[in-house]
């Protein structure tokens, strides 16, 4: 009875389970839809050819690693919006959001400049020629979506920072549906469209990104947002842009380094052979079932911490973090158990239309890799919740430096040495990757426990010390 009574109080309390879930569920569905989109995309590519499956993740992760620095920088407007909203200064919101525009323009130009270098890079990585050709095609197409992807992340960051997550869910689900439909039509050539293979997957992603930017623009230019948040009263503001870069750029670098580390890991695993690369891609793809919904909870934590600190309420921020961690730990525990007990259930969709002889070895290897995923998934809840909490306060530099040091010192360099010097196999590499995730989770938990984040702000308001 005491346990039930305590849970009931935590459910109704400020910063309790109900408040967290009310904001988090639309974001969980949104980020979960990204997971579903990637899962189905790679399932279709598995049906198309093993080379397409092997190429999809290296090319996609390389593109996202480059893009992530701009996406996270622009998306950090959510923390500014949350703190301004918590401090009842909504008139500053629109001007802050539009500081993402030069970030998006620069991202678009940079990615266009990278297109000619794609063949050289994937040749240098050393994957088999058939896989290289597919990687180049997908990477070049994905580079075309840079500007709209950065801008729609800034727009969605505004809505999330205000705590209005349902429009984010609606737009994301609609764009995901369009992406999945176009994947099916363009990869295989249905409804009279040409069969484009991996190129079709790329064009589906580009179309989805443009659609999301357009939908968010329509929403934010409505009177409900246009007037109270001054969405049309924007002018160049060097101070506001510098503030976004000061706090958002380290967040962008953090995402870039984290993605680059895992991209480097995948590229190194590709040297072990096609099956090892395909099985790793498959295991990481299944892992998104656990990871991507957690991103929604992480965004919720950052917003609730930002809003609480905006009104000078560190205690309320701690309550929200604790509630979010409890929910995340339960979810991740269930997912980890499923990965251990019934791993082949998650692999079956990939086998549906694949060559049974070719896919059998990949599936057997992926089953073992999912056990590694189950172990580090438990620590990923520490990583996501507590890094999101301190970033919601503005402690982005610590997160950046910790991921930079651990990515190089625990993941990339040890993997490179293990493969090139000691001829290590796939299991040794995945042990290294698991230690990396575990180390990050512990580090961010300890930083959160230190309490330094409680006196941090990204906006100009008096701070209670």
- The contacts of residue 156 (CB under 8 Å, 6+ apart) are 75, 168, 171, 172, 212, 216
Q: What's the pLDDT at 435?
A: 93
Mean pLDDT, rounded, of the chain: 85
Q: How confident is residue 108, by pLDDT bands cut at 50, 70 and 90?
A: very high
Task: Give me the percent of the chain exceeding a pLDDT of 70.
Answer: 94
Residue 447 predicted with pLDDT over 90? yes
Q: What's the pLDDT at 458?
A: 86
Of the ranges 183-197, 259-273, 317-331, the best mean pLDDT one: 317-331
CA 463 to chain centre: 31
Q: What's the pLDDT at 464?
A: 41
Residue 142 predicted with pLDDT over 70? yes
User: How far are the Cα atoms of 36, 44, 239, 278, 363 from residue 359, in angstroms, in the given order?
Assistant: 21, 14, 55, 9, 6
Q: What's the pLDDT at 353?
A: 57
- Residue 317, token pair as written in the block: 């921020």
Q: To the nearest 10°, the Cα dihedral for 271, 434, 385, 173? A: 40
Q: How confident is residue 42, by pLDDT bands cut at 50, 70 and 90?
A: confident
Residue 59 predicted with pLDDT over 70? yes
Running DSSP on this structure, what letter comes out for residue 273?
-
Which DSSP string do the residues of 341-405 spell out, in sequence order? H-HHHHHHHHHTTS-HHHHHHHHHHHHHHHHHHHHHHHHHHHHHHHHHHHHHHT-HHHHHHHHHH
Q: How many CB atoms lie within 10 A of CB 463?
A: 11
User: Mean per-residue pLDDT for 331-335?
Assistant: 90
Q: Which of 29-38, 65-74, 98-107 has the lowest mean pLDDT?
A: 29-38
- The contacts of residue 428 (CB under 8 Å, 6+ apart) are 418
Element (H, E) at 25: helix 17-48
Residue 288 predicted with pLDDT over 60? yes
User: Mean per-residue pLDDT for 325-335?
Assistant: 90
Q: Which of 15-29, 101-115, 206-220 has the lowest mean pLDDT?
A: 15-29
Measured CA to CA, the distance from residue 58 to residue 262 in angstroms comes to 9
Q: What's the pLDDT at 19?
A: 85
Q: Which of 243-252, 280-289, 360-369, 417-426 has the lowest mean pLDDT?
A: 280-289
Q: What is the pLDDT of residues 401-446, one digit of tens each?
A: 999 999 989 998 998 898 888 888 889 989 999 999 999 999 999 9
Q: Which of 1-10, 103-112, 122-131, 308-317 has the lowest mean pLDDT?
A: 1-10
Residue 207 predicted with pLDDT over 60? yes
Q: Which of 41-55, 215-229, 304-318 has the lowest mean pLDDT?
A: 41-55
- The contacts of residue 374 (CB under 8 Å, 6+ apart) are 335, 336, 337, 339, 340
Q: What's the pLDDT at 3?
A: 58
pTM recorded for the entire structure: 0.80
User: Mean per-residue pLDDT for 145-168?
Assistant: 90
Q: What's the pLDDT at 5?
A: 67
Q: What's the pLDDT at 305?
A: 92
Q: How confident is residue 463, by pLDDT bands cut at 50, 70 and 90?
A: very low
Q: How far apart are the first and last CA of the chain?
A: 39
Q: What is the pLDDT of residues 372-401, one digit of tens each?
A: 999 888 888 899 999 999 999 989 999 999
Residue 35 predicted with pLDDT over 70? no
Residue 462 predicted with pLDDT over 70? no
Q: What's the pLDDT at 241?
A: 85
Q: How confident is residue 223, by pLDDT bands cut at 50, 70 and 90?
A: confident
388, 298 Cβ separation under 8 angstroms: yes
């Amino acid at each position: 009875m005491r346990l039930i009574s305590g849970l009931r109080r935590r459910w109704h309390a400020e910063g309790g389970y109900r408040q967290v879930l009310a904001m988090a569920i639309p974001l969980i569905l949104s980020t979960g839809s990204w997971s579903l989109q990637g899962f189905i995309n790679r399932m279709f590519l598995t049906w198309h050819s093993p080379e397409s499956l092997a190429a999809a993740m290296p090319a996609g992760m390389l593109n996202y690693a480059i893009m992530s620095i701009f996406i996270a920088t622009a998306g950090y407007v959510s923390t500014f919006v949350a703190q301004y909203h918590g401090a009842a200064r909504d008139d500053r919101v629109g001007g802050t959001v539009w500081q993402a525009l030069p970030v998006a323009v620069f991202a678009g130009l940079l990615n266009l400049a990278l297109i000619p270098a794609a063949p050289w890079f994937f040749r240098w990585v050393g994957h088999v020629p058939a896989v290289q050709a597919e990687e180049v095609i997908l990477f070049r197409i994905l580079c075309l979506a840079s500007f709209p992807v950065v801008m729609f992340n800034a727009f969605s960051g505004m809505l999330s920072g205000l705590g209005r997550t349902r429009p984010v869910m609606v737009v994301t689900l609609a764009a995901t549906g369009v992406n999945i439909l176009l994947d099916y039509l363009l990869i295989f050539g249905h409804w009279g469209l040409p069969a484009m293979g991996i190129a079709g997957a790329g064009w589906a992603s580009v179309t989805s990104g443009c659609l999301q930017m357009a939908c968010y623009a329509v929403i934010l230019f409505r009177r409900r947002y246009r007037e109270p948040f001054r969405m049309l009263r924007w002018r160049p503001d060097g101070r506001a842009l510098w503030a976004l870069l000061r706090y958002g750029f380290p967040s962008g670098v953090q995402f870039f380094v984290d993605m680059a580390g895992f991209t480097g890991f995948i590229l190194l695993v590709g040297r072990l052979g096609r099956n090892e690369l395909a099985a790793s891609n498959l295991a990481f793809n299944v892992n998104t079932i656990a990871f991507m919904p957690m991103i929604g909870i992480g965004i919720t934590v950052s917003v609730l911490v930002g809003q609480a600190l905006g009104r000078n309420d560190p205690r309320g921020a701690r309550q929200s973090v604790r509630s979010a961690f409890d929910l995340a730990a339960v979810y991740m525990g269930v997912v980890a158990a499923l990965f251990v007990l019934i791993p082949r259930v998650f692999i079956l969709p990939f086998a549906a239309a694949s060559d049974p002889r070719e896919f059998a070895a990949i599936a057997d290897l992926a089953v073992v890799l999912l056990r590694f995923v189950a172990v580090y998934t438990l620590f990923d809840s520490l990583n996501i919740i507590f890094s999101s909490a301190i970033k919601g306060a503005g402690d982005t530099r610590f997160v950046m430096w910790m991921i930079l040091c651990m990515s190089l010192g625990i993941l990339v360099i040890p993997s490179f040495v293990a493969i090139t010097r000691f001829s290590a196999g796939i299991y040794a590499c995945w042990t290294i990757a698991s230690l990396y995730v575990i180390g990050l989770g512990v580090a961010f938990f300890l930083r959160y426990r230190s309490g330094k984040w409680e006196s941090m702000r990204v906006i100009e308001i008096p701070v209670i010390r």
